Amino acid sequence: QKEVEQNSGPLSVPEGAIASLNCTYSDRGSQSFFWYRQYSGKSPELIMSIYSNGDKEDGRFTAQLNKASQYVSLLIRDSQPSDSATYLCAVNPSGTGRRALTFGSGTRLQVQP
């Protein structure tokens, strides 16, 4: 079992719809969770970070964390074609001194105009 699991997609949504991206992780002691967006041929760019259970909203983006279920999600409201990219879920695993991120394989999102 991979440490961070994502559905590879592609997830296809029409313009203006809500896109829902999901991620599960195996390390129950994980404390920090991140969503990165990666356009083809580009480097990952941070979209959201979340550290405590519940929802965190930033513009059209909402991150949701449920540590009991080991689940983190990203909602994108009013999806735009420019949101078409691969979305990477990243987790900072537990352990003293561990600062490296563990990434999922990413979910490819396609927003249809």
Answer for which of 24, 62, 73, 92 binds other proteins (CB under 8 A) is: 92
Nearer to other proteins, 76 or 89 (CB): 89
Evaluate whether 92 touches 32 at the Cβ level (below 8 Å).
yes
91 is a site residue for other proteins (CB under 8 A): no
List the interface residues with other proteins, window 17-56 (CB under 8 A): 31-32, 34, 36, 42-46, 49, 51
Q: Which residues bind other proteins (CB under 8 A)?
A: 4, 31-32, 34, 36, 42-46, 49, 51, 88, 90, 92, 97-106
